[in-house]
């Protein structure tokens, strides 16, 4: 497959200008119409805004794909880990099937290494698992996870309904055993 001429860029949150933000939110609404009510106002999810994003731009410098990255210190048992979580992944319809998402996921791993993060986590639905498995992510099933509720900031179990957790080794080779405390909202 010939790779299309696409520029994949790591964009820190402070460099996400209003025009790019509006375009990505519009595309998120198209990609996830069932959550358009949320994405019309935010690129984050459940109160977790990205720390940085990976955005693919076409030759006209228009965004055609996006992945938000949330950095966070989580706790497993008594140990703390600096991790990244992947959120709000899309490639616009005209650009799907061209390997763009794979290139973006690779760019995330490279950036995570530069940032000396311990590992990555993502909640993955079955229809996109192959993308992540092919990029070196591994399914860790449905472990015990606690998140903070946005209303009262109490820690509650995170249910798994249509997804499972995936792990990407960066500095830590496997997911440590024990309950995972996100120390913040789900992403």
Report residue 132: phi and psi, to 5°: -80, -40
CA angle 87, 60, 66 (to 5 degrees): 0
Over residues 135-168, the pLDDT tens digits come to: 999 999 999 999 998 777 899 999 998 899 999 9
Instruction: Assign 169 a pLDDT band (cuts: 50, 70, 90).
Output: very high
Residue 1 has pLDDT above 60, yes or no: no
The answer to whether domain 7-181 has CATH 3.40.640.10 is: no
Give the tokens for residue 65.
């794909």
Instruction: Assign 133 a pLDDT band (cuts: 50, 70, 90).
Output: very high
Query: Do the beta carbons of residue 7 and residue 57 sit within 8 Å?
Result: yes
Over residues 4-57, the pLDDT tens digits come to: 799 999 999 999 999 999 999 999 999 999 999 999 999 999 889 999 999 999
Query: Do the beta carbons of residue 166 and residue 158 sit within 8 Å?
Result: no
The region, left, alpha or beta by phi > 0 then psi within -120 to 50, assigned to residue 40 is alpha
pTM for this model (two decimals): 0.94
What confidence score (pLDDT) does residue 3 get? 65
Mean pLDDT (whole number) for 113-125: 97
Write the CB contacts of 81 (distance below 8 Å, at least 6 apart in sequence). Answer: 73, 74, 75, 118, 119, 172, 176
Per-residue buried b or exposed e for 23-32, using 16+ beta carbons within 10 Å of the residue's own CB: bbbebbeebe
**Regarding beta strands 180-181 and 145-148, do their DSSP bridges make them parallel or antiparallel, or are they unpaired?**
parallel
Q: How far apart are CA 155 and CA 1, in angstroms?
A: 46
Residue 67 has pLDDT above 70, yes or no: yes
Q: Residue 169's beta-bridge partner residues?
A: 119
The ranges assigned to domains in the chain are 7-181
Mean pLDDT of the chain: 95
């Amino acid at each position: 497959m010939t790779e299309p001429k696409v520029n994949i860029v790591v964009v820190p949150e402070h460099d996400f200008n209003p025009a790019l933000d509006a375009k990505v939110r519009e595309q998120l609404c198209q990609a996830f119409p069932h959550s358009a009510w949320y994405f019309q106002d935010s690129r984050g999810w459940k109160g977790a805004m990205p720390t940085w994003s990976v955005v693919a731009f076409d030759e006209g410098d228009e965004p055609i794909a996006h992945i938000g990255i949330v950095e966070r210190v989580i706790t497993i048992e008594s140990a703390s880990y600096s991790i990244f979580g992947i959120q709000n992944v899309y490639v616009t319809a005209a650009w799907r099937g061209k390997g763009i998402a794979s290139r973006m996921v690779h760019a995330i791993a490279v950036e995570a290494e530069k940032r000396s993060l311990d590992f990555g986590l993502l909640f993955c639905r079955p229809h996109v698992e192959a993308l992540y498995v092919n990029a070196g992510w591994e399914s860790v099933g449905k472990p015990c996870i606690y998140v903070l509720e946005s209303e009262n900031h109490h820690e509650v179990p995170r249910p798994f309904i249509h997804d499972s957790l995936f792990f990407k080794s960066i500095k830590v080779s496997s997911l440590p055993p024990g309950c995972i405390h996100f120390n913040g909202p789900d992403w």
